[in-house]
Structure 1
Amino acid sequence: MTSTEVEIDPYPYTDFAGLAFPPQFAADALRISAQTLKIIERDNGLKISRIARGSVEVRSYSLHDIFQIARIRRESKHIKGFPRPITISVFVPKGGTAKTTTTCNLAIQFSLMGLKVLVIDNDQQADVSTMMGYDPDLTPEELIEIGIPGDRAINGHVGNLMRVGNFYKPMTLDEVVKKPFGEFGPHLIPAEDSLDDMDSALRSANGSDFRYSLFFEQARSGAMEHCNLSDYDVIIMDNAPAGSLLSRNSMVAADFLVCPIRMDKFSFRALSRLAYRLSEFAKDFKRAPEIVAIPTMYVRNRPRIERNMANLVSLFPGKVTESRLYLSEDYSKSLEDGIPLSLWRQGTENSLGAMREVFDEFVTRIRAATEITK
């Protein structure tokens, strides 16, 4: 992780559909061998593009190819899913802990498992929307003027779907949802600055703390004709660091609360306050999400960092992942290229490898919790 959240230039445009990946990267992303990759292609009649490299042609994979193969493996039972749909909220009441980076990369990793994933951007700053290729500030016409496709504009958010009060124009899921990596990659309900009014909308509603929970319950059951979320295996929400009513709603609605934590006393203090708030949730609402604290921006063999890590584990026993996200320039470099780390070919073991290890541990925790309660 970089030491602060990287400010993303609002104008660079990455054509995700035009990205090409060599066989070994595709196989590594899918956690299979290159030989298994070829067998899947053959058995399913997939047509993979070829590019000339010297005197030979080699296979070249698009993101559509990679995520489609992941879905094929999931549907053929080669990848084990979860016993029930999962809702995840990523939140810490402190900025600069890598919440957005964690949200985006976890979503991609879930899709590489072949799961159907929806990301919801709950932050009016729209950082995860920007990271996934959308501009929260410009109109389609303005984007076209600077050479960016107009469909990279944002024309709706979760407020248009929840239809709480009369604050937002009612819209359908098809009108709001974005699919930056194609049908089989993670989908996105983006954000823009009018989302700031959601707190007022929620406060005016009955049961304001439970509106998100009610929304997910109805949408996942198929009871909302305009917003059917029943196909999604995982819904993951990115939240602003401020403790807004929308963030509070997302925590009440979540099965798991992912907390990216830097190794400093200010982050610990923020997590301590959050843990106290969750204990109050448990008293008031008779439920609270399972906390998963992920150490970020970790530097090996630093006595102060190691002491802080030991303190974190003692403060939150059983809640801290053993895997860590290490301080690395790869995060900022991948963002400069407009590509999330999980899809960045130059990722190293210190960055991409660590992200995969954290994800694997998180999946193990999800399975342990859901198999007990299913």
Structure 2
Amino acid sequence: MIQTIYKVQAAAKLLETTVDSVRRYVDESGIDVARQANGPKTRQFTIDNIFDIAAWRQANKSKLKFKQRGIATVYAPKGGVGKTTLTANMACVFALMGLRTLVIDLDFQANLTLSFGYDSEVTDEEATELDIPEDRVIKYHFGHLVPGWPGGRMPLREVIKMPFGPSGPHLIPSDLTLDRLDTILTYDALEGKKSDLKIAALIAEGLSGKNPDFDLSSYDVILFDAAPAKNRMTRGALLASDYVVAPVSLERYSTKAVSYLASVLQDMRDDVGRSPEMVMIGNFHLPNRLRVYGQVSKLSTEYPGALLNIMVHRSEEFPKTLSEDDEQPPLVLARPSGSAAEQLHKVSCELLQKMGVI
């Protein structure tokens, strides 16, 4: 991923504060921000710098207190509704607010992993030939953290990636071999084991902080990016979550997907006695269309309180983050002054309020 450099004005926009405050935070924190080599000695902020400032501000200056941990699965029964784009951008916004954020890519197609700058198909040999740093190679994924994985369980520190440094969102990446986890969960079910609850039990273990090789207790928000398929990994993530965040395209047939998701959640309640609470985000639509108003009214009536008030409009500002030719970071980092980034910030804040995190 190309290293993006920001001026102080852009840093202030990302942190939703003033230029003077950013300068003061840098001076007080001692965070090393490089200055322009030639011409005016203006500060040049990296993405890592900005996340470091966000974390320092939360620890030392912010009056915003986080009430509880939020665990959610971002899931849509069909593709093409912006699920992965939303996940990547919300994770970045959470970290910009000072929340310690973990995102888990549970789709073996690894689109979320790619959106954070990691090509899961690059091997060690290819990385050497292309002069790609070793830490950009994906060797392990969520499956390697699960007890019973062939070859043994790996410690979290060997699996986790930090695309924007320790203070940015952390990533448990994916690659094609993650599909084996679904096979393992299926075999467990055939043997009478409670495979549906295996991921929930794993997350509970991590949150307890008792296993130093799998300690999730420091995270404020954990987001699963689940595959569109209704497989055992997705079901396991849903059962490990308190909320399911469902992007909804307010175009034709969107309510059919929501109805299907509602039936999936009802099946969970019937089977195991619980399911995550559904939260819907109206996504990538054109405003001021009669059909949009009709869909919003219908969804609000059928699923009271589930649809967030803030919606994300369709915009030309969204970069092609999944294109091999595009190495930009998620939109909120790539174009912080745009209207789409502003909407994503507002959606992220409303979601945190809905989840009781803030």
- Does the alignment reach a TM-score above 0.5? yes
Task: Select the residue among 14, 20, 36 that pairs with 2:5.
Answer: 20
Task: Select the residue among 26, 30, 46 that pairs with 2:15.
Answer: 30
Structure 1 residue 56 displacement after superposition:
2.3
* Aligned mates of 2:243, 2:319 — CA distance in 1: 27
Q: Is the Cα–Cα contact under 8 Å of residues 283 and 311 in structure 2 kept in the other structure? A: yes
Is 2:331 the counterpart of 1:341? yes
Task: Select the residue among 139, 146, 153 that pairs with 1:162.
Answer: 146
* Aligned mates of 1:35, 1:268 — CA distance in 2: 47
* Aligned mates of 2:278, 2:334 — CA distance in 1: 29
Relative distance call for 1:37 and 1:77 in structure 2 (3 A) is closer
Is 2:249 the counterpart of 1:262? yes
Structure 1 residue 25 displacement after superposition:
1.2
TM-score, normalised by the number of residues in structure 1: 0.89
* Aligned mates of 1:228, 1:88 — CA distance in 2: 18
Report what 1:182 is aligned to: 165
Task: Select the residue among 340, 344, 350 that pairs with 1:355.
Answer: 344
Superimposed CA distance per residue, residues 11-62 of structure 1 (whole angstroms, 9 cap, x where no aligned partner): xxx14xx321111111111111111112212222333221167x52212111
Relative distance call for 1:279 and 1:323 in structure 2 (3 A) is same
> For 1:95-110, what aligned pairs fall within 5 Å after superposition?
95-110=79-94
Q: Is the Cα–Cα contact under 8 Å of residues 13 and 336 in structure 2 kept in the other structure? A: no
Structure 1 residue 366 displacement after superposition:
1.9
Q: Is the Cα–Cα contact under 8 Å of residues 159 and 198 in structure 1 kept in the other structure? A: yes
> For 1:57-206, what aligned pairs fall within 5 Å after superposition?
57-76=41-60, 78-163=62-147, 165-167=148-150, 169-205=152-188, 206=193
Task: Select the residue among 24, 31, 34 that pairs with 1:39.
Answer: 24
Superimposed CA distance per residue, residues 48-105 of structure 1 (whole angstroms, 9 cap, x where no aligned partner): 221167x522121111211111111111251524323221100011110111001111
Aligned positions, number: 351
Report what 2:212 is aligned to: 225
Is 2:290 the counterpart of 1:307? no
* Aligned mates of 2:211, 2:337 — CA distance in 1: 41
Residue aligned with 2:279, SS: strand
Structure 1 residue 286 displacement after superposition:
2.6
* Aligned mates of 1:59, 1:303 — CA distance in 2: 48
Relative distance call for 1:245 and 1:161 in structure 2 (3 A) is same
Report what 1:288 is aligned to: 275
Is 2:234 the counterpart of 1:247? yes
* Aligned mates of 1:41, 1:136 — CA distance in 2: 35
Relative distance call for 1:334 and 1:348 in structure 2 (3 A) is farther
User: Letter of the aligned partner of 1:362 in structure 2?
Assistant: L
* Aligned mates of 1:113, 1:346 — CA distance in 2: 14
Structure 1 residue 168 displacement after superposition:
5.0
Q: Which runs of 5+ in 1 are unaligned?
A: 1-13
Is 2:348 the counterpart of 1:364? no
Relative distance call for 1:346 and 1:28 in structure 2 (3 A) is closer
Residue aligned with 2:64, SS: coil
Q: Is the Cα–Cα contact under 8 Å of residues 330 and 347 in structure 1 kept in the other structure? A: no
Is 2:303 the counterpart of 1:319? no
Residue aligned with 1:291, SS: strand
Post-superposition, which runs of at least 4 consecutive aligned residues in structure 1 deviate over 4 A? Answer: none
Residue aligned with 2:253, SS: helix
* Aligned mates of 1:364, 1:63 — CA distance in 2: 26
* Aligned mates of 2:48, 2:336 — CA distance in 1: 20
Task: Select the residue among 262, 277, 299 that pairs with 1:275.
Answer: 262
Q: Is the Cα–Cα contact under 8 Å of residues 25 and 345 in structure 1 kept in the other structure? A: no
Residue aligned with 1:330, SS: coil
Which has the larger displacement, 288-297 or 304-313? Answer: 304-313
Q: Percent of counterpart pairs with the same letter?
A: 34
Relative distance call for 1:168 and 1:316 in structure 2 (3 A) is farther
* Aligned mates of 1:137, 1:75 — CA distance in 2: 38
Q: Is the Cα–Cα contact under 8 Å of residues 90 and 237 in structure 1 kept in the other structure? A: yes
Q: Is the Cα–Cα contact under 8 Å of residues 23 and 59 in structure 1 kept in the other structure? A: yes
Q: Is the Cα–Cα contact under 8 Å of residues 13 and 337 in structure 2 kept in the other structure? A: no
